[in-house]
Amino acid sequence: MLTPAQNERITRVGPGTPAGILFRLYWQPAVLSSEVPERDGPQVRVRLLGEDLLAFRDSNGEVGLVDAYCPHRRAPFFFGRNEECGIRCAYHGWKFDRNGDCTDMPTEPGNDIMKEKTKITAYPTVEKGGVVWAYLGPSEKKPSPPDYEWLRVPPTHLHVSKTYEECNYLQALEGGLDTAHSSYAHNNNMSSKTDPRLLDRSPRLDVNPTAYGYNYVSTRQMGQGDVYIRLYHYVMPFQQMRGGIHEFSGARRKMPALDGHVWVPIDDETTYVYNWHHGYDESVALSDEHREHTETFYGRGPGEMIPGTFKLKKNRSNDYLIDRELQRAKVYTGITGINTQDFALQEGMGRIVDRSKEHLGATDRAIIAMRSMLLKAIDIAAEGGTPPGLDPATHNNMRAYDDFVKAGTDWREVFEPRTKAKW
């Protein structure tokens, strides 16, 4: 468990907060590239780490991420005009480019000194993997852009989506790092005789610190000499990577793929989840049918989102459409959709859970290690040091994997060639 003071320190993400200072040292998703698809197209509101911002693609095709309000009288740039490499405020015509510089001040003709001194907050961006990444920290500490393997995968083999979650980022991240809950929360076929999550509901965990965070190994006994091993990665500060090579309802093999999530704080009480999924190698391209099937499986298919948003139709306001008869007969939670099940439990804890009331066990080792690592990194950042995972070289050549091995086999030898990036 955490003390109330530790919980505050690790969950609050706004400007000047301990965790906010740490997170601003990392590149992180701001919007999907598809949200700003066209040059001089409509700008979009962005809220990131408690800051109100605006994203737009300028006339040169570059994405700007700037203060959401004009510095003149604080009118919202959302209603402005995206034109000729800048956002022009609809109130008095003041115009700013993606670097935050004022390029026109028509209500103050000839006042070049005022124009030169008037700037807005603007953050650097890069586009990779269908995502616009932003850096919100001090310019002198800006690291090289991220280089995760999934950012190098061609669009034909990659799928990225985004969902909105009504809780603090940490309880969402903890859900992603908690392998034991899948035996219950994601038990969608209670009569299954092949799912290792049901055959062994108490996985053994080993956590191994790395330069980017840690990897951890989940081991489940299958019986008859088989062991199911799953190697995950926790990548600082709030990303998880996992293997997706096997399925357990019916045939073991499915389309070989890897996936993961990035839980990006909108503010202290809400989160955007960036979900990525890609083929195992060049032979595994993703069809439109596969992309739609994946989204539907997780509960965020085309008909399951509130139009024009990243919010699920099944949400807190309607109890995620829990079906008690389904819960009795087949699905442990009575809720369909893997991520929907997660949201019901994580959002149901409250916007920021009180971790001083917890009772943690052996299957919480990955969560305990993550919290310890984050709190230590927060202290390092507060002292002006360099926290782990900023250098792309620490994370650009690894991947997750899962497989079945025979008891007594050294799984490391089996996994070693399969845990290196192929892209």
The amino acid at 260: G
In whole angstroms, give the CA distance from residue 256 to residue 244.
7
Stronger pLDDT, 243 or 316, i.e. the higher one = 316
301-312 tens-digit pLDDT: 989 999 999 999
Report CA torsion sign: 56, 166, 276, 232. positive
What is the pLDDT, as a whole number, of residue 255? 60
Nearest C-alpha neighbor of 276 from the set 292, 262, 293: 262
Q: List all residues 6 or more positions away from 117 whose beta carbon is below 8 Å from its beta carbon.
A: none
Nearest C-alpha neighbor of 35 from the set 26, 44, 27, 48: 44
In whole angstroms, give the CA distance from residue 276 to residue 270.
20
98, 56 contact by CB (below 8 A): yes
337-359 tens-digit pLDDT: 999 999 999 999 999 999 999 99
106-129 tens-digit pLDDT: 999 999 999 999 999 999 999 999
pLDDT of 103 over the 50 cut:
yes
In whole angstroms, give the CA distance from residue 162 to residue 288.
17
What is the pLDDT, as a whole number, of residue 247? 47
User: Which CATH class, in words, describes the domain spanning 149-418?
Assistant: alpha beta
DSSP-derived letter for residue 282 is: T
In whole angstroms, give the CA distance from residue 78 to residue 54.
7
pLDDT of 252 over the 50 cut:
no
Q: What is the mean pLDDT of residues 86-105?
A: 98
**Can you tell me whether residue 371 is helix, strand or coil?**
helix
Q: Where in the chain is the domain with CATH 2.102.10.10?
A: 33-141
Q: How confident is the model at residue 31 (pLDDT cuts 50, 70, 90)?
A: very high
Average pLDDT taken over every residue of the chain:
94
CA atoms within 13 Å, Cβ hemisphere of 302: 6
In whole angstroms, give the CA distance from residue 37 to residue 14.
28
What is the pLDDT, as a whole number, of residue 251? 36
Alpha carbon 355 to its chain centroid, in Å, reads 22
In whole angstroms, give the CA distance from residue 255 to residue 284.
7
How is domain 33-141 classified at the architecture level of CATH? Answer: 3-layer Sandwich (2.102)
In whole angstroms, give the CA distance from residue 279 to residue 255.
8
**Can you tell me whether residue 146 is helix, strand or coil?**
coil
Lowest mean pLDDT among 48-62, 159-173, 276-290: 276-290
The amino acid at 68: A
Q: In the 3-class helix/strand/coil scheme, how is 175-239 assigned residue by residue?
A: HHHCCHHHHCCCCCCCCCCCCHHHHCCCCEEEEEECCCEEEEEEEEEEECCEEEEEEEEEECCCE
Nearest C-alpha neighbor of 277 from the set 219, 338, 367: 338
Overall pTM > 0.75: yes
